[in-house]
Structure 1
Amino acid sequence: MARILVQFAHPALEKSRVNRRLIAAVESLDFVTVNDLYEQYPDFDIDVNREQELLLAHDYVVLHHPFYWYSAPALIKQWEDLVLEHGWAYGRTGNALAGKRMLSVITTGGQREAYQETGANRYTIQQLLVPFEQTARLCRMEYLPPFVVHGSLRITEAEIEAAGARYRALLTLLATGQAAEYAAAQAPFLTDLAH
C-alpha cells in the first residue's frame, strides 16, 4: 500500500469550517501522515531535514490548503523554497523525489463556474495551479489532477460531510493503486472520482 503525506497549511484553521473537516476525514487513515505546517512551524523556521525525510518516506505528496489569492498560504512557499533544494529535489543530481506523485487539494470561496475562462476569475483551476504542476515536474514527480472543494463560503454541512467522504475515498483509492488509471487519463479533477 502506498504512503501518502498530506502537507496541510491553513493559517487560520480555527476559522475554517471546511478544511478542518477534510483533515478530520483523512487523519485516521493508517497510510496517511498529516503534516500540519502551521502547527509545526508557527515561526516559519522549517526543519529541512525533517521535511525531506517525510518526503522520502511517502509515495504521494498532497499539498492541502485554501486557495488564497490564486495560490497557497505563505508557509507553502517557504516550505518549497527551503525543502526542495537544488541537488536534492531538482537539478542534474536532484533525484530524491523522482517517481513520486503530487496533487493539490484546495478549497475555494468561488463556485466551480467562476473558475473558467468565461467566469469571474478568467482562468481555470488547472491554469492557476500551473506553478505547482511545474514544481512537481521539475522535481521529476508526476502531478495529478486536483481535488477541489468549490464554494466553501456557502457550502452546507451535508456538502462538507460529502466532501470529506470523497477525500477519504480518494486517498484510499490512491493508496491501493485503484486511481492510477483515472489519474493517468488527466481528467480535470480527482474530486469526482470517489463518489
Structure 2
Amino acid sequence: MTAQKENVQRKTLVIIAHPELHKGSRVNQKLAQAAAQHTTTVHDLYAAYGNTAIHVEREQQLLLDHDRIIFQFPVWWYSCPSLLKQWFDDVLTYGWAYGEGGNKLHGKEWGLAVTAGGSDFAYTPQGYNHFPLEQLLRPFEVTASIIGTTFLPVFSVYNAMQLSEEELELKAEEYAIHLTSAMNPLCTSAV
C-alpha cells in the first residue's frame, strides 16, 4: 500500500480547546476550518461542554474510533486552556489509558497544534519566555508516552495575533498538510 493511500485511510480526530473560538480567535478559527476540510472529525470541546460535565465514555469512544488525535489550542500560561486539562484528567483514566489494563490508546498517533501570541524568538533562552515552546509542551509528550501513543511533531503558529491574511492562509495550508501527511514520529517535539 502506498503512503498516499495510507494517508487517506487514516482517521484523524482534531480536538479543539479554545473558549473564544467563535468570538474572535481568527487564527484558531482558520485552523479549525482547515481541519474540518481535511480530517475525519473536528471536535470543539468548549462547544460540547462549555459549562457541563465531560461525557467520559463518549470521549473515550471518539479516541477509539480514530488513529491520529491532534489537540489544537492556544498556549495559555505555558499550558492549555482549563477545559482541555480537565478533559485529560477525566478521559485518560487508570485502567483505560494507562496503568494495569490501560492499553486502549496504544499504537495511536498523538499530536499538538498550538498558537502562541509571541514570536518564535520569544520562545528562546534570550527571549521573553526563556524556554523553547517544545520544552514548555513536554507534559503533553510525557502523557503520550505514558498512554502508549506515538508523539508527533508539533504544529505551531507564532505571532498569532499579528498574522496578515496572507500569512494566515499559508499557515492554514501548512496545517492541512500537517494533518494529512505521513509523519515521522519523533521522540521530542519539533517546532
TM-score by length of 1: 0.89
- 1:12 pairs with 2:14: no
Look up the match of 1:22.
31
2:101 counterpart (93, 118, 125): 93
What is the one-letter code of the residue matched to 2:190?
P
1:102-131 deviation digits (Å, cap 9, x = unpaired):
111000000011111221101111110011
Distance 1:74 1:162, change over 3 A: same
1:101 and 1:71 map into 2 onto residues whose CA distance is 20
1:92 aligned counterpart, secondary structure? coil
**Shift, 1:32, TM fit:** 2.2
**Shift, 1:92, TM fit:** 2.0
1:62 aligned counterpart, secondary structure? strand
Look up the match of 1:192.
none
**Shift, 1:185, TM fit:** 7.8
1:90 aligned counterpart, secondary structure? coil
Look up the match of 2:51.
43
**Shift, 1:138, TM fit:** 0.8
Look up the match of 1:139.
147
**Shift, 1:93, TM fit:** 1.2
1:136-184 deviation digits (Å, cap 9, x = unpaired):
11101111121000001211111111100110111121xxxx323xx34
1:24 and 1:112 map into 2 onto residues whose CA distance is 24
1:123 aligned counterpart, secondary structure? coil
2:70 aligned counterpart, secondary structure? strand
Aligned partners of 1:44 and 1:75 also within 8 Å:
no
Gaps of 5+ in 1: 190-195
Aligned partners of 2:16 and 2:42 also within 8 Å:
yes
Look up the match of 1:179.
183
- 1:52 pairs with 2:54: no
1:156 counterpart (161, 164, 171): 164
TM-score by length of 2: 0.91
1:28 aligned counterpart, secondary structure? helix
Q: Say what the alpha-carbon RMSD is for the aligned residues.
A: 1.4
Look up the match of 1:62.
70
Q: Report matched runs for 1:110-149 at 5 Å.
A: 110-149=118-157
1:104 aligned counterpart, secondary structure? strand
1:119 and 1:92 map into 2 onto residues whose CA distance is 42
**Shift, 1:187, TM fit:** 6.7
1:15 aligned counterpart, secondary structure? coil
**Shift, 1:45, TM fit:** 0.9
1:127 and 1:15 map into 2 onto residues whose CA distance is 28
